[in-house]
């Protein structure tokens, strides 16, 4: 992607500068957007400044004069707290601005915030992402969007400064539903890949050879080929650096909880998603909540 300035003078307020939001805001700044960013964490603000992003003293100050407001926060309660809580951010967003929430949250929560935006005459999109921290840094994220098609067209140049693929899944909340479907499949596939590798190793197989075979056979997946959960099989995978970095176990646990909750609302059956949610909960209780979710492999190894 070129760094040519196609910003059309858009001023972007960016709230939430964590693992994902930090590099996303930096990419907007690199593309020439006038970014005004805020995070509750002083450390996140310092890192954003070092990456060339202008920071504001509060969320209210960040949205002053903004034509686009983007949020990238941990969970539903943070997003509802930011827009609808005591700070009354929604009321302070300039008329005509476009609001984009990129956090992974409950579809119902996304719809509540979008309704409050609509009540103020503001368009709002849910645009959760896939691609992880590496995709956020490289500007190659996939955006999974719910909301009005016309609002998405307005958002497209901004999203393209942070990502490569954009999928419009339907009305408000549909982006969140689609994201949860993807992550539920990912959570189940990672767990069963760990199970298969542990079974093979218990029978004396070499996990490297087993993974190489599976990667070109019908059991292939991102979990065998890229983020292999067995330490040492893929040098670039979190498993080969003590499961550090990557996508946290507790974020996967949150997403599986949201998927199960979403299923309850419709009567859809998600037996494997529910089982996987319990596995990641056990992995968290075993002290690996902050490690990459592929550390679920450690639950499936034979006790020494």
The DSSP H or E segment spanning 207 is helix 207-214
Looking only at the bridges linking them, the beta strands covering 141-146 and 163-170 are parallel
**Cβ–Cβ contacts within 10 Å for residue 173, how many?**
22
Integer Cα distance of 259 and 186 in angstroms: 12
In this structure, what are the phi and psi dihedrals at residue 230, rounded to the nearest 5 degrees?
Answer: -90, 125
* Residue 20 sits in the site that holds ligand NAD (CB under 6 A): yes
Size of interface with ligand NAD, in residues (CB under 6 A): 26
List C-alpha distances in Å: 173 to 31, 89, 179, 257. Answer: 28, 20, 10, 16
* Residue 44 sits in the site that holds ligand NAD (CB under 6 A): yes
In this structure, what are the phi and psi dihedrals at residue 248, rounded to the nearest 5 degrees?
Answer: -60, 140
**Cβ–Cβ contacts within 10 Å for residue 167, how many?**
16
* Burial call 112-133: b when 16+ CB within 10 Å, e when fewer: bbbebbeeeebbbbbbbbbbbe
179 carries an active-site annotation: yes
Quote the least distance from Cβ 41 to ligand NAD, whole Å.
4
Q: Which one is catalytic: 179, 234, 254, 302?
A: 179
Quote the least distance from Cβ 40 to ligand NAD, whole Å.
4
**Cβ–Cβ contacts within 10 Å for residue 242, how many?**
11
* Residue 284 sits in the site that holds ligand NAD (CB under 6 A): no
Question: Which residue number, 16 or 273, has a Cβ lying nearer to ligand NAD?
Answer: 16
* Residue 207 sits in the site that holds ligand NAD (CB under 6 A): no
Quote the least distance from Cβ 207 to ligand NAD, whole Å.
24
Stretch that binds ligand NAD, among 47-55, 67-75, 90-98, 222-230 (CB under 6 A): 67-75
Out of 100, 251, 260, 276, the only residue in the binding site for ligand NAD (CB under 6 A) is 251
Integer Cα distance of 95 and 151 in angstroms: 14
Stretch that binds ligand NAD, among 13-21, 209-217, 227-235, 286-294 (CB under 6 A): 13-21
Which 126-165 residues touch ligand NAD, going by CB under 6 A?
A: 129, 132-133
* Residue 69 sits in the site that holds ligand NAD (CB under 6 A): no
Quote the least distance from Cβ 204 to ligand NAD, whole Å.
35
Residues that bind ligand NAD (CB under 6 A): 15-21, 38-41, 44, 59, 72-74, 78, 81-82, 103-104, 129, 132-133, 247, 251
* Residues designated as active site: 179
């Amino acid at each position: 992607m070129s760094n040519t300035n196609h910003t059309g003078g858009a001023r972007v307020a960016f709230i939430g500068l964590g693992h994902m939001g930090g590099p996303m805001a930096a990419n907007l700044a690199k593309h020439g957007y006038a970014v005004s960013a805020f995070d509750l964490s002083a450390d996140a603000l310092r890192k954003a400044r070092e990456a060339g992003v202008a920071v504001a003293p509060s969320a209210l100050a960040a949205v002053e004069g903004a034509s686009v407001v983007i949020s990238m926060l941990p969970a539903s309660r943070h997003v509802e707290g930011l827009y609808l809580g005591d700070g009354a951010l929604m009321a302070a967003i300039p008329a005509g601005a476009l609001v984009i929430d990129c956090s992974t949250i409950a579809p119902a929560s996304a719809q509540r915030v979008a309704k409050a935006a609509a009540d103020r005459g503001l368009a709002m999109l849910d645009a959760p992402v896939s691609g992880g921290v590496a995709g956020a840094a490289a500007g190659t994220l996939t955006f999974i969007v719910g909301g009005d098609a016309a609002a998405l067209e307005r958002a497209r140049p901004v999203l393209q400064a942070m990502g490569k693929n954009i999928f419009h899944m339907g009305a408000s909340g549909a982006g969140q539903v689609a994201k949860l479907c993807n992550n539920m499949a990912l959570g189940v596939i990672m767990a069963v890949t760990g199970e298969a590798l542990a079974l093979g190793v218990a029978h004396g197989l070499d996990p490297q050879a087993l993974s190489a075979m599976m990667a070109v056979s019908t059991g292939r997946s991102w979990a065998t080929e890229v983020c292999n959960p067995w330490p040492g099989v893929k040098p670039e995978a979190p498993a080969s650096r003590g499961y550090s970095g990557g996508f946290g176990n507790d974020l996967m646990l949150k997403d599986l909880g949201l998927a199960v909750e979403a299923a309850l609302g419709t009567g859809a059956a998600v037996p494997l998603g529910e089982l996987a949610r319990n596995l990641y909960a056990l992995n968290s209780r075993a002290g690996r909540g902050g490690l990459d979710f592929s550390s679920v492999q450690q639950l499936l190894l034979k006790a020494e």
